[in-house]
Amino acid sequence: MNDQTSNSAIAQHTECASDGTVLRDPRRTPPRRNIRKAFHHFRELIKDKEDTSHVFQIYESLPSKHFMPRVRKLTLSAMGEDLRRAEPYLPPMLDDHEALRKLPKGSVAHAYCDFMEREGLSAAGLVAEAEKLNRPKYGDLIEWFGFRQRDTHDLMHVLTGYGRDALGEQCVLLFTHGQSPSHGHILLGYAGALNIMKQVKGNAPVLRAVNEAKRMGRACPPIVEMSIRELLAMDLQDARQKFGIGETAWYHKCHEVWRSEGVNPYDLLAKQEQELAAA
């Protein structure tokens, strides 16, 4: 049996889009919850927050019951099929800064390019981190949706204004949870916030900041379901107003408090390490 015949046989017995792309390839291993594995990778992530391969391991260990209904609802709809045709894979578009810079100044695209260039990031780099897991590719609708969730992470930083500091990352995770509830988002967001509070004693309203992020995520339409091309062309302030993304007041309050306490928000452990070294 050749590949084309095999794909045809699979399509006859599974849910498919109108072009024959299966919703879930039968060869996929059913997701299983493994809390111990999730916490192991969370501890490793705390040691090196730049090693985002642990993030993907955590999500795999804590599958969400909401995931498949969301995938099915979008990918089997006319809107989902239009998105797949127009935006089959986001990283090449997101990394083409030359093209994005041709959009109007003040647009989401310009803010995105500024953010990625300032932080030394790329959409391809996030893909490379995910590829470290060496997971098989299936080419099904789940894969397209999952890649789309992954590849819009940095856009959420830009839309919300949360930085890549430790608290900013927790806030983006809770914003994402507001959009797509998941035990992985909860673990990473709240456990990360509690770890910040444990490591950096002070009066910063950390929990208020992450709860504010979760509320904003819940109020904002799911970004994964938007045309990213159209989103990039929007004026940033107009996009925030349209999608109900307000001021990140408690996040900025935390930064203000930390600075008043002699703590750099972008290096929260620096002061603690200096004190230990002095001792």
What are the pLDDT tens digits along the chain (279 aa)?
Answer: 444 444 444 444 579 999 999 999 999 988 788 778 877 877 887 777 667 777 778 778 777 888 899 999 999 999 999 999 999 999 999 999 999 999 999 999 999 999 999 999 999 999 998 888 788 999 999 999 999 999 999 999 999 999 999 999 999 999 999 998 888 888 888 988 998 999 898 899 999 999 999 999 999 999 999 999 999 999 999 999 999 999 999 999 999 999 999 999 998 865 544 443 333
The vertex-192 CA angle with 249 and 131, nearest 5°, equals 110
Distance CA 24, CA 114 (A): 37
Question: What's the pTM?
Answer: 0.84
Distance CA 171, CA 92 (A): 27
Query: In sequence order, what are the residues at sequence separation of 6 or more whose Cβ sits closer than 8 angstroms to the Cβ of residue 195?
Result: 46
Read off the tokens for 234: 């929007």
Transcribe 27-40 into DSSP letters.
TSPPP---HHHHHH
Query: In sequence order, what are the residues at sequence separation of 6 or more whose Cβ sits closer than 8 angstroms to the Cβ of residue 207?
Result: 193, 197
